[in-house]
Amino acid sequence: MFDKADRILTLVRGALHKYAPGIAVACGISIPCFYLAGWITIDTVNMLGRYLALALVALSLDLVWGYTGMLCLCQSFFFALGGYAMGMYLAHHGGPEGIIDHAGWKIPACLYILFSDVEGALTPWFWKPFYFLPATIALGLFIPAFVASVIGFFVFRSRVRGVFFAVLTQAVTLAAWLVFCMNDMKLCGTNGLTRFDRLAGFPLNDEKTRLGLYIITLAALVLVYWLCWLIIKSRLGRVLVAIRDNETRLRFAGYKPYLFKMFVFSVSAMIAGLGGMLYAPQMGIFTPTNMEVRESILVVVWVAVGGRGTLGGAVAGTLLVNLLYNYLTSQHEFMGLVWKPDYWPFVLGSLFIIVVLFCPDGIATIWKRLTDVSKKSAPQSEGTR
Amino acid sequence: MNVARKPFVRPQELSRDGRLTSFLVYLEAVTVVFDGFKALDIDLFGVYHNELRVVIGPNGAGKTTMCDVISGKTRLTQGKLFWHGNDIGTVHDIAMSRMGVGRKFQTPSVFDSLTVFENLELAIPNRQRDLLRNLWGKTTADEEAKIRQLMDRVNLTKQSDLQARFLSHGQRQCLEISMLVLAEPDLLLVDEPAAGLSDEETALMADLLLELRGQHAIVVIEHDMDFVRRLDAGVTVLNEGKIMAEGYMEEIQANPEVVEAYLGR
């Protein structure tokens, strides 16, 4: 009898292992169904949609950090570049009608607030491509990739590695944040981009639009996940892991590591930018706070909790930490004890410490141990590098 | 392999043109200075095409520095480095490796999280240059057969799908050498291949190197005298950055200077 139960359990575990991506996608698809059935509100769907957009950023960091071994603290910057691109488009198409500059171009409302007292204010030239959606999407992907390849060219060619790379990218993020906060940059300063009303003609406060955005984000995540998987499984993916393991050896094997690093860094920036573009319309506002160094470090926490070097782990970690954040930053009472939102940083900190100490490869290892039924599993890993 | 041994010809006995044509790699009046310390000071040193050469010497004699110079890791302070008779100056490591120098490091260095097979896959020649070919390209059946054959040779077939970090020290040494061999270099620089190996593994390593002689030029740096004797090859003795003696083991052992500096102790 136990034998039978055991066999069923093994079967379930095997199925979980085999169809994990399918199950995850099914969960993602079930959310709109729950909404249509009236079980959850559109706000929940919207929140999950935002978290899926953030999962894209986590995937992008996982490529660079988990697989290639470069701890990058630039991810929020790339995210914000995409977010600002989409935000500028949305700001163009939102707010009161009829604010026109001397050249006949519409002044976005959030920009108008800052420049209404300036005589002869014109919409800056760099805002203009972002009036058109296709150009916005193209630029939202291209600009982060371009910035990343420029940074990468100088940083990787001069063989900046390890901690120095982390510090350098953090400095880049900080500098970019300071620049974006300046009013003179005509990017709406610390106020950020606001007054998002319509995306491609669809009103953003409409529930159907928000549901559509969720579905688009889910589709984007699935697509990007698949692309990342293709990269990881290719020869190039193994070169990336080889860079993480032993870059010197790789150079003596005739590879130019900086080319591969530049490639993966640019791809990752593009993915983070895509995340930003999907996040902005769902958030309804995009400000420089989204590109603070803190945000970059949060992405590191998500990936670390989920399990670096596993794509599924990055996504799972993001969703887990953010759902936890969402739950624990509201007040709860249980048997006379009061949970206050202020406690959240302690939870986040302890979560990170627990993962680093007891589960260095993240919750992905737990999942693997639960579901992997193959007998020929390799000997236990002796921790991480 | 009982080939009648030719007498060892030292570079000093050749004309300059002769040296340029008969040596695969040839160092002329080379010095390497680190912070005022002369780590290497070589008048003439050459490795013949397809020759097996052993470099011995006490610690700090400049053996590894010489390897570094040839593999492009360290720049020459002075002097000339000839490769196939061409003065190439100092070329950096990636270019040197693409020109056909394979380097095995003192500590076995392989890619820990990749499997044995994947490690070898990365070493397939002419796959390194192009980023996109790495993205789309697949390993061909020919290449796979070659890898399998090599794994068979070094007794790693069973470990084919095992991550390299789970290999023993000796297996890692073998894997690293296999990676070099697969790249079909003209010159193999092998830094202490027998270090930390069991007797059995040492024998396997020596056999492997002997098998490779004639296909590549090989420079072996080694401390283990039994291992050196087993290789039965030309020996260069380095001491304090200078070449002290060159010749076969018997000649070296008969050299009182060498005995004084190194062997006798």
Asked if residue A63 lies in contact with residue A268, where contact means CB atoms within 8 angstroms, the answer is yes
| Integer CA distances (angstroms), B241 to B61, B65, B252, in order | 5, 9, 17
Q: Which residues in chain B are contacts of A256 at CB distance < 8 A?
A: 94, 128
Q: How far is CA A149 from the centre of its chain?
A: 19
Flag the least confident range among A154-158, A306-310, A374-378, B177-181: A374-378
Q: Which residues in chain A are contacts of B188 at CB distance < 8 A?
A: none
In a domain, B3, yes or no: no
Query: Could you report the per-residue pLDDT of B143-199, keeping only the tens digit for each?
Result: 888 899 888 888 888 888 889 989 888 888 889 988 888 888 889 898 888 888 888
Residue B30, min C-alpha distance to chain A (Å): 22
Q: Are B128 and A255 a contacting pair at CB < 8 A?
A: yes
Q: Are B111 and A249 a contacting pair at CB < 8 A?
A: yes
In a domain, B134, yes or no: yes
Alpha carbon distance B10, B24 (integer Å): 14
Q: Is the Cβ of B131 closer than 8 Å to some Cβ of chain A?
A: yes
Of residues B232, B226, B222, B227, the one with CA closest to residue B63: B222
Query: Could you report the per-residue pLDDT of B31-71, keeping only the tens digit for each?
Result: 888 888 888 888 888 888 888 899 988 888 888 888 888 88
CATH number at residue B141: 3.40.50.300
Residue B149, min C-alpha distance to chain A (Å): 20
Cβ density class A279-299: b for 16+ within 10 Å, e for less = bbbbbbbbbbebbbbebbebb
Residue of A nearest to B103 (CA): A252
Q: Is the Cβ of B162 closer than 8 Å to some Cβ of chain A?
A: yes
More confident residue, A139 or A96: A139
Dihedral of CA B77/B82/B83/B89: which sign? positive
Alpha carbon distance A37, A312 (integer Å): 28
Of residues A255, A378, A337, A33, the one with CA closest to residue B114: A378
Residue of B nearest to A256 (CA): B94
State the total domains in chain B.
1
pLDDT of residue A385: 38
pLDDT of residue A151: 94
Which of B96, B113, B158 should be substituted to probe chain A, the one whose Cβ sees the most A Cβ atoms within 10 Å? B113
Residue with tokens 């390299």: B164
| DSSP helix/strand/coil, A334 | strand
Give the closest of A253, A263, A378 to B128, CB-based. Answer: A253
Question: What residues contact residue B117 under an 8 Å CB cut-off, 6+ apart?
Answer: B147, B151, B160, B161
Residue B224's pLDDT band, with cuts at 50, 70 and 90, is confident
What is the torsion angle, in degrees rounded to the nearest 10, for the CA atoms of residue A101, residue A106, residue A109 and residue A114?
A: -30
Query: Could you report the per-residue pLDDT of A48-66, keeping only the tens digit for each?
Result: 999 999 999 999 999 999 9
Q: CB-based burial of residue A163 (10 Å sphere; 0-12 exposed, 13-18 middle, 19+ buried)? A: exposed
Q: Which stretches of chain A sit within 8 Å of chain B by CB?
A: 231, 234-236, 238-239, 241-242, 244-246, 248-256, 259-260, 263, 309, 378-379, 381-382
Run of H or E including A14: helix A2-36
Alpha carbon distance B136, B133 (integer Å): 5
Average pLDDT, chain A: 87
Q: Which domain holds residue B246?
A: 11-263
Task: Find residue A338's DSSP bridge partners.
Answer: A333
In a domain, B37, yes or no: yes
Alpha carbon distance B213, B8 (integer Å): 16
Alpha carbon distance B109, B237 (integer Å): 26
Amino acid sitting at position B28? E
Q: Are B97 and A253 a contacting pair at CB < 8 A?
A: yes
Flag the least confident range among A44-58, A367-381, B6-20, B238-252: A367-381
Q: Is the Cβ of B118 closer than 8 Å to some Cβ of chain A?
A: yes
Return the percentage of chain B with pLDDT > 70, whole number.
Answer: 95
Q: Are B97 and A254 a contacting pair at CB < 8 A?
A: yes
Residue B19, min C-alpha distance to chain A (Å): 27
Task: Find residue B31's DSSP bridge partners.
Answer: B41, B78
CB atoms near residue B90 (< 10 Å): 15
Report residue A41: phi and psi, to 5°. -85, 165
Rg (alpha carbons) of chain B, rounded to whole number? 19
More confident residue, A220 or A37: A220
Question: What residues contact residue B77 under an 8 Å CB cut-off, 6+ apart?
Answer: B31, B32, B33
Asked if residue B72 lies in contact with residue B90, where contact means CB atoms within 8 angstroms, the answer is yes
Task: Find residue B44's DSSP bridge partners.
Answer: B28
Question: What residues contact residue B67 under an 8 Å CB cut-off, 6+ apart?
Answer: B73, B103, B189, B191, B219, B221
CB atoms near residue A351 (< 10 Å): 17
Residue B158, min C-alpha distance to chain A (Å): 13
Run of H or E including A4: helix A2-36
Give the closest of A236, A245, A252 to B111, CB-based. Answer: A245
Q: Which residues in chain A are contacts of B136 at CB distance < 8 A?
A: 234
Average pLDDT, chain B: 84
pLDDT of residue A374: 60
Instruction: Show the 3-state SS of chain B.
Output: CCCCCCCCCCHHHCCHHHHHHHEEEEEEEEEEEECCEEEEEEEEEEEECCCEEEEECCCCCCHHHHHHHHCCCCCCCEEEEEECCEECCCCCHHHHHHHCEEEECCCCCCCCCCEHHHHHHHCCCCCCCCHHHHHHCCCCHHHHHHHHHHHHHCCCHHHCCCEHHHCCHHHHHHHHHHHHHHCCCCEEEEECCCCCCCHHHHHHHHHHHHHHECCEEEEEECCCHHHHHHHCCEEEEEECCEEEEEECHHHHHHCHHHHHHHHCC
Query: Could you report the per-residue pLDDT of A362-383, keeping only the tens digit for each?
Result: 888 888 888 776 644 444 444 4
In a domain, B2, yes or no: no
In a domain, B185, yes or no: yes
Residue A221, min C-alpha distance to chain B (Å): 21
- Structure tokens that stand for B238 in this block: 């380095």
